[in-house]
Amino acid sequence: MQRHYASLTAALAALGTTIALTGCGTSTGSSGDVTLTLIAADYDVNGGQSSKTYWDNLAKDFESKHEGIDVRVTIEPWTGIDRKVAQLVKEGKEPDIAQIGPYADYAAGDKLYSADQLLSIPVQSNFLRPLADAGEQRRVQYGLPFTASTRVLFYNKKLFAGAGVENPPTTWDELRSAAEQLKDAGVSYPYALPLGPEEAQIETMMWLLGGDSNGFVEPGGSYSIDSEENRETLEWVRSNLVEPGLVGPVPPSKLNRKQAFAAFTKGEVGMLNGHPSLLKEAEKAGIELGKVPVPGKKGKPKAAVGVADWIMGFKKREHREEIGKFFNFLFTDKNVLDFASQNDLLPPTVTASEAMEQDPDHADLKEFLVELPTSLLPPVNKTSWGTVSEEIRANVGRAVEPGGSPAKVLGDIAQKAQDAEAQEEE
């Protein structure tokens, strides 16, 4: 998945981002003023108004440059936004624009405009390749990556020094050895392993990639959940980390990412796989942390795990032209960087990523930015992924319990995936 961006960046600079929209004719359902309805997720981890402020300011700026188009924004919490949009779609009341988690079901149901119907050529070409690929169904992009993140291994430098761990781990064996030293030094969570229902699919995928598998699917797109490599990976985790008591007082199946991050900021965790938003929280708590690539079985995994949230344009109200104008405005470097910087996330575009990487104010994100262009995302373009992801979140933690059976747990999840795929084909 390697990609060289220099030529693309030069081409984008030459073309500019003001090329007229391709594939965007006159909006057939509008005459005169148009109001676009937009539902977006709340990213403010402290319960503040930062997401609402961002979208309100963006909408005002856009309206000032596009007479006759108003944007009405509604902010919903992450805990309910996906269900909210699904219900609106079911009732035939979908918004013009939704910034949410899943897009695949809506694309499969022919409810979304494709990217080439909305975006100028430079804007569509500017998405990082792994993110653009993950937004495709049948080689057509419908999901537009709104923001992204990767994962790296965080470690507490003070706890490492106190336990006599000289270097951060680069392999699984080194990780186990460091965890043993941390445990002997009295650290509560030598390695925090969040396989609870919040985000177990991402933690699991990091381990699977480190075990020389392709994660949950083969390159052709078919599920490979219970592959031999995946079974062996979870067997290693169970036998080398969980059963020896190196993962802390909360069983992995009960430990959520949020809990693990909170324990890290309290100085109770020696190591965990974290994403950029943990940086500020750890800094506020006075934790001196280090960051290295997630260790693999024999070294660096074949790819880092990438995660993206999506934004999409719905066809229902036939506002293609206006949605396209808004998206071309949204994906300018300034607007992309404003949101990413505000939330300690990564830009989904080539030019904004390069700008962030060169900005000394974002030096602490370098490890994440380096991983993103070659990252591998979960199979979010499969309409069955929502069901399969739920199964993984609910059950995969049992595979690594003392005496647990990775083969049985992964086999059961694989069967559910097969059933979900079969239902879609009916």
DSSP line for 268-290: -EEEEEE-TTHHHHHHHTT--EE
370 vs 354: CA distance, rounded Å? 10
Pick the CATH number of 152-303+384-425 from 3.30.70.1400, 3.40.190.10, 3.30.479.10, 3.40.50.300: 3.40.190.10
Single-letter amino acid code for the residue at 325: K
Which residues lie below 8 Å from residue 125, measured CB to CB, with a gap of 6+?
A: 8, 11, 12
152 vs 147: CA distance, rounded Å? 17
CA angle 174, 177, 208 (to 5 degrees): 50
For residues 273 and 203, the answer to whether their CB atoms sit within 8 Å is yes
Can you list the pairs that 204-207 forms with residues at least 24 positions away whose Cβ atoms lie under 8 Å? 204/234, 204/392, 204/396, 205/305, 205/376, 205/378, 206/151, 206/273, 206/294, 206/301, 206/305, 207/233, 207/234, 207/237
191 vs 182: CA distance, rounded Å? 9
194 vs 207: CA distance, rounded Å? 12
pLDDT of residue 425: 65
- Is the pLDDT at 143 greater than 50? The verdict is yes
Start-to-end Cα distance in the chain: 33
Enter the tokens of residue 98.
């939704």
Enter the tokens of residue 219.
């390159």
Q: How confident is the model at residue 386 (pLDDT cuts 50, 70, 90)?
A: confident
Q: What is the pLDDT of residues 166-213, one digit of tens each?
A: 999 999 999 999 999 999 999 999 999 999 998 999 999 999 999 989
pLDDT of residue 28: 34
Of 5-9, 221-225, 324-328, give the lowest mean pLDDT range.
5-9
Share of the chain above pLDDT 90, in %: 80
263 vs 401: CA distance, rounded Å? 21
Q: How confident is the model at residue 311 (pLDDT cuts 50, 70, 90)?
A: very high
- Residue written as token pair 């005002």: 60
Closest CA to 222 of 376, 379, 1, 410: 379
Q: What is the pLDDT of residues 90-107, one digit of tens each?
A: 999 999 999 998 899 999
pLDDT of residue 92: 96
Closest CA to 52 of 339, 347, 356: 339
Q: How confident is the model at residue 27 (pLDDT cuts 50, 70, 90)?
A: very low
299 vs 292: CA distance, rounded Å? 12
Total-model pTM: 0.84
Domain boundaries, the chain: 6-149+307-374, 152-303+384-425
In the DSSP assignment, the letter for residue 240 is: I
Enter the tokens of residue 265.
């900021």
Residue 96, Cβ neighbours under 10 Å: how many?
A: 25
Give the SS3 label for residue 366. Answer: helix
Give the SS3 label for residue 11. Answer: helix
320 vs 309: CA distance, rounded Å? 21
For residues 366 and 357, the answer to whether their CB atoms sit within 8 Å is yes
For residues 66 and 325, the answer to whether their CB atoms sit within 8 Å is yes
Q: To the nearest whole number, what is the mean pLDDT of the chain?
A: 90
pLDDT of residue 397: 97
pLDDT of residue 45: 67
6-149+307-374 sits in which CATH class? alpha beta
Q: What is the pLDDT of residues 51-100, one digit of tens each?
A: 999 999 999 999 999 999 999 999 999 878 998 999 999 999 999 999 99
Q: What is the pLDDT of residues 263-301, one digit of tens each?
A: 999 999 999 999 898 998 899 999 999 999 999 999 989
Q: How confident is the model at residue 46 (pLDDT cuts 50, 70, 90)?
A: low
pLDDT of residue 426: 58
For residues 201 and 389, the answer to whether their CB atoms sit within 8 Å is yes
Which sign, positive or negative, has the C-alpha torsion 363, 366, 372, 373? positive
In the DSSP assignment, the letter for residue 69 is: E
339 vs 295: CA distance, rounded Å? 30
Domains 6-149+307-374 and 152-303+384-425 share a fold: yes
Which residues lie below 8 Å from residue 66, measured CB to CB, with a gap of 6+?
A: 322, 325, 326, 329
Q: How far, CA to CA in Å, does 310 sit from each of 35, 40, 82, 91, 365?
A: 21, 10, 11, 22, 21
Give the SS3 label for residue 351. Answer: helix
pLDDT of residue 22: 36
Q: How confident is the model at residue 18 (pLDDT cuts 50, 70, 90)?
A: very low
Of 18-22, 203-207, 214-218, 348-352, give the lowest mean pLDDT range.
18-22
Q: How far, CA to CA in Å, does 65 sit from each of 21, 60, 186, 189?
A: 16, 9, 59, 52
Edge to edge, the sheet with strand 269-274 lists: 189-191, 269-274, 152-156, 289-292
pLDDT of residue 48: 76
Which residues lie below 8 Å from residue 348, measured CB to CB, with a gap of 6+?
A: 127, 128, 131, 145, 146, 147, 148, 308, 336
